[in-house]
Amino acid sequence: MFQNALRRLCNETLRFQTTAKYVHFLRGVRPLSVSARHLTDVKDALPFDTSLLEFLVCPLSKKQLRYEEKTNELINEELGIAYPIIDGIPNMIPTDARLIKNDPETPVEPA
């Protein structure tokens, strides 16, 4: 019993000594300074691939969507909902969609 305890104590002491060497080495390493603004600035947002319109439908009405390039959104004309496109990826979560006002006088362009 004492031999096992002594063996374990020796092993832990050796393990501590080797990690202490690495800690001393890591003290000289500094964190890389990166500007947070550099990470958040997106100069060229990824464009939306319009070939996806062939497969994408509104999760609520299961109808085809129309891509609005000016606002970068997918529009459901029937429900008056606009789904945002973020970095080329459509956000099809209904709670994140924006309600748009349907003008009866404005003609709807066919898809």
What pLDDT, on a 0 to 100 scale, did the predictor assign at position 24?
Answer: 54
In angstroms, the CA 62 to CA 81 distance is 13
Do the domain assignments include residue 34?
no
pTM of the model: 0.53
What pLDDT, on a 0 to 100 scale, did the predictor assign at position 35?
Answer: 44
pLDDT in tens, 47-70: 888 999 999 999 999 999 999 999
Q: Which one, of 40, 41, 47, 58, lies nearest residue 88 by Cα?
A: 47
Q: Kindly compute the dihedral angle of the four CA atoms of residues 30, 39, 91, 96, in this order, to the nearest 10 degrees.
A: 90
Do the domain assignments include residue 108?
no
Do the domain assignments include residue 37?
no
Q: pLDDT below 50 — which residues of the chain? A: 35-43, 106, 111
Which range marks the domain in which residue 94 is found? 50-99
What pLDDT, on a 0 to 100 scale, did the predictor assign at position 37?
Answer: 41
Do the domain assignments include residue 73?
yes
The domain that holds 91 is classified in CATH as 2.20.25.10
Note whether 74 and 90 are within 8 A (CB). yes
Do the domain assignments include residue 25?
no
